[in-house]
Amino acid sequence: MEYRTGNIGRVIVARFDHGEDFLAGLNHLLKEEEIKKAWFNVIGGIAAARVVTGPKEPVMPPEPVWREIETREVLGGGTVYWDGDEPVVHLHAALGHHGETVTGCVREWARTYLVLEVTIFEITGFPAARPWFAEGGFKRLIFANGDGD
């Protein structure tokens, strides 16, 4: 385990409306506001998305199991760390419809159904990134030395 302590910077609240591409819009907001590290929560509805619901087998690197979902209520939380010039969003969510819930990592096609509300808590006080981790086959959080952002 590695860890750092930091502080909460800005708090940003955003609304995504019906039909908007949530992941593309979130990436745009992160770049626009230059948010390099953050925790966020999301609540509302997703009309369609591709979600990873776990590995096929518990091995490294994992083979993801994909599921396409349609119109679901969503409650999720995620983090943001960058890989070079691009933010990397890691969002896990519970997505429910008529009593059936799918829980997973929302990765593609996240179209808003009616509305999604997002609260972003910027993290400051230490350098961190999420570059490719070849051994694991995914982008993994790393900490750099130093006190800055």
Q: What is the mean pLDDT of residues 77-87?
A: 97
User: pLDDT, tens digit, for every residue of 41-75?
Assistant: 999 999 999 999 999 999 999 999 999 999 999 99
pTM score, two decimals? 0.94
The string of DSSP letters for 83-142 reads: ETTEEEEEEEEEEEETTEEEEEEEEEEEEEEEEEEEEEEEEESS-EE--EETTTTEE--E
The C-alpha atoms of residue 106 and residue 79 are separated, in whole angstroms, by: 12
Q: What is the mean pLDDT of residues 86-112?
A: 97
The CATH number linked to 32 is 3.30.1330.80
Note whether residue 20 is domain-resident. yes
Q: What is the mean pLDDT of residues 88-114?
A: 97
Q: How many domains does the chain have?
A: 1
Q: What's residue 147's pLDDT?
A: 62
Q: What's residue 119's pLDDT?
A: 98
What rounded mean pLDDT belongs to the chain?
Answer: 96
Residue 129: give the domain boundaries. Answer: 7-143
Is 148 a residue whose pLDDT tops 80?
no
Note whether residue 2 is domain-resident. no
Note whether residue 149 is domain-resident. no
